[in-house]
């Protein structure tokens, strides 16, 4: 049973809980980028939809399913009415090797050497579903509604206690990456209501309104009372913080265009703009969560909740970058199939094409995410350390400004993919590949997002059965290793005001590797 504190001690722990709020807010700020940025962001893979994913995301000029409502609403003016339901199953794996400034494995103050740490949920799939429908009202007008989360790798969770090496033998030690992140989870949805209109046989325009919302649950760790000369972690002086925030309305717009140069070449464009995620919420902080032996304290630490002092004390502002994608699709129509430029044409590649190939170029203004704003009211948060007898001793206040500097940079990407119709109106096979430039330097290595350069290879198929199309896809994602040689730049919150209420050293020194395997399935019914 968790120990609690009453009176002044309890107030201290509550104040410390808000320290945890900010410390966890730091992790939340970074972790939220993965789930809150839009589907064209370099921080996200893969895209929603078995068709899009299996083509490597090269789809803005093809846009031939109800998910056009979310990715290029202009296409709603030229496709059949339909409904699609599907999900991505994501297996992600991130492994962190913490190092010191000499590039060697980091140790705790007690001499325990950290080992490589990988997320413990790597063998469990993250289910990331989507639902979309569209209605062709006239030959020139279509509407659509898509309900889907941002494309993402999903939940990330690290063990609280792992194995380290002490004098040649294995011992328990607190997670080496705990100051950066222990857990990132939550639910984020971006419903999109869109309309597409054909101005002529060649030109279609569309727009959609995004009314996003979501909650995030994250956990990480802060330091209680480090000194300026400290260079190693004092495990027993750490505080685990768990935070949950919610934003009921994250508005945005998507604008799309399609231009048919001729029967063989289509050009597509989409621009997506969304307001920042502005979450508010509460947290629970657990002082003395780990013992000096690296194991979780039997009583779970001294627990307190910010909700005891008032609701929604945490304030987080996470920018959403503008994303732009332009693509060109070359198609070879089947003899006798209706052309895309005929009056009232309906695009149905599996019945009308021999093959198509598309290339997309994209730009994401990730430099807008220079820092994540983390704020609480002035002089309301105090840091407490836990004595051996369980008492809480005040250390110092947490700064009003607890922003997290990430220094992201703009990213560029290329996507290439296509379909080959093996059996007209029955079976199509597809494949794709993509590459995205890095959004962060190695000094700002973070687990969620892991914003290094990345590439992917994918393949899939579409089977037309009576009344429904069944689509499957697979994607392999490789994230370029980030390695700062033990010279990281991210610091966690601490109770030492003379250090600017930050840790005396960076907590993200080391290397990070990552990859993901994604399986996608979808069923679409057209009418």
| H or E segment to which residue 126 belongs | strand 126-136
In whole angstroms, how far apart are CA 441 and each of 24, 417, 481, 514?
22, 29, 11, 16
- Predicted confidence at residue 299, as pLDDT, reads 81
Q: Are 413 and 151 in contact (CB under 8 A)?
A: no
If DSSP codes are grouped into helix, strand and coil, which group holds residue 68? helix
- Predicted confidence at residue 383, as pLDDT, reads 64
Separation between Cα atoms, residue 70 and residue 210, nearest integer Å: 9
For the chain, the domains span 7-526
Task: Name 498's Cβ contacts closer than 8 Å, sequence gap at least 6.
Answer: 228
Burial of 122 (0-12, 13-18, 19+ CB in 10 A): middle
CATH of domain 7-526: 2.40.160.60
Identify the residue whose tokens are 């914003």: 451
List, for residues 280-329, the tens digit of each pLDDT value.
988 777 877 888 888 998 888 777 777 777 788 888 888 899 999 999 99
Separation between Cα atoms, residue 327 and residue 268, nearest integer Å: 5
Smallest CA-to-CA distance from 285 within 232, 332, 241 is with 241
- Predicted confidence at residue 44, as pLDDT, reads 58
List, for residues 367-407, the tens digit of each pLDDT value.
998 877 777 766 665 666 766 666 767 776 666 777 777 88
To the question of pTM greater than 0.95 for the whole model, the response is no
Q: Are 414 and 365 in contact (CB under 8 A)?
A: no
Q: Are 356 and 329 in contact (CB under 8 A)?
A: yes
Separation between Cα atoms, residue 324 and residue 76, nearest integer Å: 19
Per-residue pLDDT of the chain (527 residues; tens, 9 = 90+): 334 333 334 334 333 333 333 334 333 333 333 333 333 344 456 678 999 999 999 999 999 999 999 999 999 998 999 999 999 999 999 999 999 999 999 999 999 999 999 999 998 999 999 999 999 999 999 999 999 988 777 889 999 999 999 999 999 999 999 999 999 888 889 999 999 999 999 999 999 999 999 998 888 898 888 899 999 999 987 888 888 899 999 999 999 999 999 999 999 999 999 999 999 988 777 877 888 888 998 888 777 777 777 788 888 888 899 999 999 999 999 988 877 777 677 889 999 999 999 999 999 999 998 877 777 766 665 666 766 666 767 776 666 777 777 889 999 999 999 999 999 999 999 999 999 999 999 999 998 788 999 999 999 999 999 999 999 999 999 999 999 999 999 998 887 888 888 899 999 999 999 999 999 999 999 99
Q: Are 123 and 137 in contact (CB under 8 A)?
A: no
Burial of 103 (0-12, 13-18, 19+ CB in 10 A): middle
- Predicted confidence at residue 19, as pLDDT, reads 38
- Predicted confidence at residue 378, as pLDDT, reads 67
CB atoms within 10 A of CB 151: 27
Identify the residue whose tokens are 């002086």: 237
Give the gyration radius of the chain's Cα atoms.
Answer: 25
Separation between Cα atoms, residue 417 and residue 481, nearest integer Å: 25
CB atoms within 10 A of CB 228: 9
Angle (CA) 480 482 486, round 5°: 165
Separation between Cα atoms, residue 310 and residue 159, nearest integer Å: 31
């Amino acid at each position: 049973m968790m120990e609690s504190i009453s009176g002044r001690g309890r107030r201290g722990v509550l104040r410390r809980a808000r320290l945890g709020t900010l410390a966890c807010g730091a992790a939340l700020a970074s972790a939220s980028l993965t789930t809150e940025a839009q589907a064209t962001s370099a921080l996200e893979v893969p895209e929603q939809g078995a068709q899009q994913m299996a083509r490597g995301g090269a789809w803005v000029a093809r846009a031939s399913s109800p998910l056009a409502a979310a990715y290029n609403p202009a296409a709603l003016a030229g496709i059949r009415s339909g409904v699609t339901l599907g999900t991505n199953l994501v297996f992600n794996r991130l492994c962190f090797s913490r190092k010191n400034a000499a590039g060697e494995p980091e140790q705790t103050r007690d001499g325990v050497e950290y080992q490589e740490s990988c997320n413990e949920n790597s063998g469990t799939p993250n289910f990331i579903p989507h639902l979309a429908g569209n209605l062709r009202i006239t030959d020139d007008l279509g509407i659509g509604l898509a309900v889907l989360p941002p494309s993402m790798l999903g939940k990330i969770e690290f063990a609280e206690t792992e194995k380290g090496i002490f004098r040649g033998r294995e011992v328990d030690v607190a997670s080496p990456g705990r100051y950066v992140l222990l857990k990132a989870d939550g639910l984020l949805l971006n419903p999109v209501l869109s309309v597409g209109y054909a101005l002529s046989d060649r030109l279609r325009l569309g727009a959609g309104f995004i009314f996003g919302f979501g909650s995030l649950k994250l956990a990480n760790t802060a330091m209680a009372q480090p000194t300026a000369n400290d260079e190693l972690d004092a495990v027993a002086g750490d505080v685990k913080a768990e935070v949950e925030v919610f934003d009921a309305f994250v508005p945005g717009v998507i604008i799309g265009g399609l231009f048919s140069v001729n029967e063989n070449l289509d050009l597509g464009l989409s621009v997506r703009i969304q307001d920042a995620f502005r979450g508010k919420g509460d947290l629970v902080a657990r002082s003395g969560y780990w013992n000096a032996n690296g194991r979780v304290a039997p009583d779970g630490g001294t627990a307190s909740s910010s909700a005891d002092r008032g609701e929604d004390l945490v304030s987080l502002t996470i920018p959403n970058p503008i994303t732009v994608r332009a693509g060109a699709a070359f198609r070879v129509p089947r003899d006798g199939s209706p052309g895309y430029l005929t009056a009232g044409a309906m695009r149905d590649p599996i019945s009308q094409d021999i093959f198509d190939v598309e290339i997309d170029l994209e730009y994401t203004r990730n430099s807008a995410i220079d820092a994540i704003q983390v704020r609480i009211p002035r002089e309301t948060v105090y840091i407490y350390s836990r004595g051996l007898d369980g008492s809480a001793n005040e250390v110092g206040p947490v700064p009003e400004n607890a922003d997290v500097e990430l220094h992201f940079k703009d990213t560029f990407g290329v996507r290439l993919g296509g379909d080959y119709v093996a059996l007209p109106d029955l079976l199509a096979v597809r494949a794709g590949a993509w590459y995205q430039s890095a959004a962060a330097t190695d000094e700002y290595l973070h687990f969620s997002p892991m914003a290094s350069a990345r590439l992917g290879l994918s393949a899939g198929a579409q089977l037309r059965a009576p009344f429904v199309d069944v689509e499957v896809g697979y994607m392999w994602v490789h994230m370029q290793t980030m390695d700062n040689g033990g010279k990281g730049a991210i610091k966690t919150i601490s109770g030492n005001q003379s250090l600017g209420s930050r840790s005396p050293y960076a907590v993200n020194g080391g290397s990070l590797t990552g990859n993901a395997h994604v399986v996608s399935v979808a069923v679409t019914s057209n009418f």
